[in-house]
Amino acid sequence: MPTDSSAGTLPPTDRTVLRRKKERGSHERELINTILDEALVCHVGFTTERGPVVLPMFYARIGDDLFVHGAAANDMLRHLDGGTLVCITVTLLDGLVFARSAFHHSMNYRSVVLFGVAERVTDPTTLRRVSAALVDHLAPGRSGEARPPTDEELRATRVVRLPIREGSAKVRTGGPIDDADDMALPVWAGELPVRLRAGHPVSDPQGREQPGVPAYISAHPLLDAP
């Protein structure tokens, strides 16, 4: 969870200005932060000598930086070290939109696309902050309870930082937008809202000293209110 939420807007650039449906685009940091903090998986794109690669990764935001992490031994992730251009995309699906015409079917979503140069983080103090931010991104408050990483565990983890400097958000909301000629068709049209939701927590049966489900799990943002 970010502690020093940034405000303002990102400067638009050639690759972040929408040329079509401009009303769906935004460079507002507040919107970008909200999407980054709500989603749990990002898709990291980078170019190798064999072409583009897109990998799903867990991440956390701390202020103006996005951190992704994986095993130090991960072959693919080595491409992210030292000055590599990356694109990191986060997408929240909010609804399926059914128009009367096949052509105007759509989706409601909120997405963020970030561009920049990634760099590996090796400073132990930052690595410890990132570790806490990652587990708190899974469940706010978790870092107060989980055993923090050892030096050895930090060395076995590859953490890459992307400063949030160039990027934009894109949002679609609302129902279908059919052509006027189609409005009288006897075809149901509307939206099916969707969202990620949690089921009942499953306690690890291996635990010898398993305490009860903590409040930050039973009140998890993805769980419905009881």
Residue numbers 49-68 binding a second copy by CB under 8 A = 50-56, 58
Q: Is 82 in the site for a second copy (CB under 8 A)?
A: no
Q: Is 23 in the site for a second copy (CB under 8 A)?
A: no
The pair of structure tokens assigned to 201 is: 């927590």
Q: Within 117-146, which residues bind a second copy (CB under 8 A)?
A: 131-132, 134-135, 138-139, 142-143, 145-146
CA atoms within 13 A on the CB side of 175: 6
- One residue of 9, 81, 105, 122 binding a second copy per CB under 8 A: 105
Q: Within 148-187, which residues bind a second copy (CB under 8 A)?
A: 148-150, 153, 156-157, 175-176, 178, 182-187
The answer to whether 54 and 79 have CB atoms below 8 angstroms apart is no
Closer residue to a second copy in complex, CB, 7/53: 53
Q: Is 11 in the site for a second copy (CB under 8 A)?
A: no
Q: Is 81 in the site for a second copy (CB under 8 A)?
A: no
Q: Is 22 in the site for a second copy (CB under 8 A)?
A: no
Closer residue to a second copy in complex, CB, 7/200: 200
Closer residue to a second copy in complex, CB, 28/182: 182
The pair of structure tokens assigned to 190 is: 């509307």
**What is the DSSP track for 21-88?**
SGGGEE-BHHHHHHHHHH--EEEEEEEETTEEEEEEEEEEEETTEEEEEEETT-TGGGGGSSSEEEEE
Calpha distance 130→173 (Å, rounded):
33
Q: How far is the CB of 68 from a second copy (least distance, A)?
A: 13
CA atoms within 13 A on the CB side of 33: 17
Closer residue to a second copy in complex, CB, 8/186: 186
Say whether 168 sits in a helix, a strand or coil: strand
Beta bridge partners of 90: 112
Q: How far is the CB of 66 from a second copy (least distance, A)?
A: 13
